[in-house]
Amino acid sequence: MMICSLQPVVEEDWPLNPHLDEDPNGWQTIAPEHMSIFMPSSLQIADMHRLGLATMASQELELRQGQANDALEGL
CA 54 – CA 14 distance, rounded (Å) = 37
Q: Enumerate residues 6+ apart whose C-beta is below 8 A from 75.
A: none
Is the model more confident about 34 or about 1?
34
Is the model more confident about 34 or about 66?
66
CA 72 – CA 43 distance, rounded (Å) = 27
- CA 26 to chain centroid: 23
pLDDT tens-digit readout, 48-74 = 999 999 999 999 999 999 999 999 999
pTM: 0.54
Is the model more confident about 24 or about 37?
37
Q: Which helix (H) or strand (E) holds 68?
A: helix 54-74
pLDDT at 1: 40
Is the model more confident about 24 or about 52?
52
